[in-house]
Amino acid sequence: MRGGSYQSVHQVSSRLAGLEFLGRRGYDARSRRTPIATRGCLPIMSFDARSSPSDANTTAQLWALAQQVLPGGVNSPVRSFKSVGGDPFFVERGEGAWLVDTEGRRYVDYIMSWGPLVLGHAHPVITEALQAQLQRGTSYGAPTAAEVEMAERLVRMVPGLEMVRLVNSGTEATMSALRVARGYTGRSRFLKFTGCYHGHADPFLVAAGSGVATLGLPNSPGVPEEAVRDTALLPFNDLDQVRSLFQERGEEFAAIILEPVMGNAGLIPPEPGFLEGLREVASEYGAVLIFDEVMTGFRVARGGAQERYGVTPDLTTLGKVIGGGLPVGAFGGRREIMEQVAPVGPVYQAGTLSGNPLATAAGNAQLAWLEENDPWPQWEAYGTELVEGMLEALTEAGIPASGRVLGSMWGVFFHPGPVRSFEEAQEADTQRFAAFHREMLHRGVFLAPSPFEAGFLSIMHGREELDLTLSVARKAAKVVGNGRAL
Ligand code: PMP
């Protein structure tokens, strides 16, 4: 229905403009290099008191309006809080490790835009690079030096890259990498692992298998069966099943694609030997090994999971993390394979906004920072204290839990562990997680609104954020353990 009785965005935001937001602060230029553990942090607000009814109306109004004009009120499904209950808040701005909503509430943010913001929100390294580029235009559709610089940086930093092509999202990167692998091998079938997410292109949208290789069935209406006919599925970390599948039909496979560390089913690292075994199988049967490092690139180590585990894939896909919050992605790998890509080769791939100057400005700035600094040890120290503290709080409250930290990614399962696959992750207590999520949010800590997502750190997460998170986690765990959650 058009022209209904709901308020327009203009009406709602005019009301918001009158609100006084809390805790504005500028960044010290030195913060670019200050170690995370010693950086000054934002004042801690109390979240135990509920906001006034008139404030609550603004979120409610925006949410009501959003649901009228956006499917489910959002532009990407997980933002809708469907798996944790409650309604999402609306972001007014980000500041370092914090989000501020349209009602002035502040949250320690462990999502960081689902990975890209390694420097935190609105870091001057990024905002200044963007401001400088903005004066010179937003898009040219012709080559720029910044694209070459970004490609060079990626090749220098990620072991498996000899050549790259920049695209606009992780989805574009994975669908293009698969096309190149198919073009290069002249084969169609490919193997993916249950629980690994590779974006929303048709061939990857296949229901989790039952633990045996199977012809894929689409798990979204609109994906034709033909589109996933060549998708084979196996459980993560089960090398024996990969070996037997390839012994039977290895010559039919164009590619093996995986998240080398699963981040879309919670955080699940590869078992020792799994990545090495896949490397051997792919090489033996002439299949292209694709590491989807859209999440893990620059997060689990500077050169991604391939650097951390010492296994080099033939192709790598990268995404959000290389753009500092701008829409970007990339795929690349061995020169021989990448030279299949048009215009040097016959495999077509193109994009009007690919290598966009704003994305390359932000991307180069962030990548340069990551080349010159070494935040990974501090991230692991923060993450270890965070996960250990959360597990202690949950265990004390009688909630079995397990967790992991890898670089700036972390994850806690409401499951005693070990969790080695999506199938095992699904045994987690999702209802208690949902209650815990609501309790944490209510007290000012924003965790990913799904039991099957990794958490992300930035260099702006420091001692005060950590202490606040753990004190809130103890309260939240107690309430959930007592069965008195929101
Ligand atoms: N691959 C992986 C491993 C991802 O985590 C994601 C997104 N979370 C994608 C691909 C798709 O990226 P995008 O959302 O940018 O299309």
Which is it for the CA torsion 92, 97, 98, 99, positive or negative? positive
DSSP structure string for 311-371:
---SEEEE-GGGGTTSS-EEEEE-HHHHTTBTTTSSB----TTTT-HHHHHHHHHHHHHHH
Query: For residue 439, which of 403, 473, 395 has the smallest C-alpha distance?
Result: 473
What are 234's strand-pairing partners? 193
Ligand 1 atom having least distance to the Cα of 329: 15
Model confidence pLDDT, tens digit, residues 31-88: 333 334 333 333 333 334 344 434 445 899 999 999 999 999 999 988 999 889 999 9
Query: For residue 121, which of 327, 315, 353, 366 has the smallest C-alpha distance?
Result: 366
Per the CB < 8 A criterion, the answer to whether 430 and 415 are in contact is no
How is residue 205 annotated by DSSP?
Answer: -
Strand order in the sheet with 98-101: 91-95, 98-101, 106-109, 445-446
Question: CA-CA distance, 198 to 240, in Å (whole number)?
Answer: 23
Q: Where are the alpha helices (DSSP H) in 186-238?
A: 225-228
- What pLDDT is attached to residue 14? 36
What residues flank ligand 1, with Cβ below 6 Å? 114, 169-171, 174, 197-199, 259, 263-264, 292, 294-295, 319-320, 329
Per the CB < 8 A criterion, the answer to whether 439 and 445 are in contact is no
Backbone angles phi and psi of 234, in degrees to 5: -140, 160
The model's pTM is 0.88
Identity of the amino acid at 382: Y
Q: Is 140 a catalytic site residue?
A: no
Residue 215 C-alpha from the chain's centroid: 28
Query: Could you tell me the distance, in angstroms and rounded to a whole number, from the CA of residue 305 to the centre of ligand 1?
Result: 16
- The token pair at 103 is 């009602």
Q: What is the residue-averaged pLDDT of the chain?
A: 88
Do you know the residue count of the chain?
A: 486
How is residue 267 annotated by DSSP?
Answer: -
Query: Could you tell me the distance, in angstroms and rounded to a whole number, from the CA of residue 12 to the centre of ligand 1?
Result: 32
Ligand 1 atom having least distance to the Cα of 114: 8
Q: Where are the alpha helices (DSSP H) in 165-310?
A: 170-185, 225-228, 239-249, 274-285, 304-309
Query: Could you tell me the distance, in angstroms and rounded to a whole number, from the CA of residue 173 to the centre of ligand 1?
Result: 9
- Ligand 1 pocket check: which of 295, 321, 331, 353 to mutate, most ligand atoms within 8 Å of Cβ? 295
Place of tokens 């809708």: 80
Asked, as a colleague might, if the bond just before 218 is cis with ω within 30 of 0, I would say no
Query: For residue 197, which of 292, 74, 112 has the smallest C-alpha distance?
Result: 292
- Ligand 1 pocket check: which of 79, 264, 328 to mutate, most ligand atoms within 8 Å of Cβ? 264
Asked, as a colleague might, if the bond just before 143 is cis with ω within 30 of 0, I would say no
Map residue 470 onto helix, strand or coil: helix
* Tens digit of each residue's pLDDT, the chain (486 residues): 333 333 334 343 333 333 322 222 332 333 333 334 333 333 333 334 344 434 445 899 999 999 999 999 999 988 999 889 999 999 999 999 999 999 999 999 999 999 999 999 999 999 999 999 999 999 999 999 999 999 999 999 999 999 999 999 999 999 999 999 999 999 999 999 999 999 999 999 885 332 223 445 567 888 888 898 999 999 999 999 999 999 999 999 999 999 999 999 999 999 999 999 999 999 999 999 999 999 999 999 999 999 999 999 999 999 999 999 999 999 999 999 999 999 999 999 999 999 999 999 999 999 999 999 999 999 999 999 999 999 999 999 999 999 999 999 999 999 999 999 999 999 999 999 999 999 999 999 999 999 999 999 999 999 999 999 999 999 999 999 998 888
| 250-276: b (≥16 Cβ within 10 Å) or e | bebbbbbbbbbbbbbbbbbbbeeebbe
Question: CA-CA distance, 425 to 413, in Å (whole number)?
Answer: 7
Asked, as a colleague might, if the bond just before 418 is cis with ω within 30 of 0, I would say yes
Annotated catalytic residue: which of 109, 292, 314, 478?
A: 292
Per the CB < 8 A criterion, the answer to whether 367 and 302 are in contact is no
- The token pair at 302 is 């500077």
Annotated catalytic residue: which of 197, 230, 309, 478?
A: 197
Question: CA-CA distance, 115 to 455, in Å (whole number)?
Answer: 8
Query: Could you tell me the distance, in angstroms and rounded to a whole number, from the CA of residue 215 to the centre of ligand 1?
Result: 23
- The token pair at 451 is 């039991």
Query: Could you tell me the distance, in angstroms and rounded to a whole number, from the CA of residue 197 to the centre of ligand 1?
Result: 7
Domains of the chain with CATH codes: 55-118+375-481 (3.90.1150.10), 126-372 (3.40.640.10)
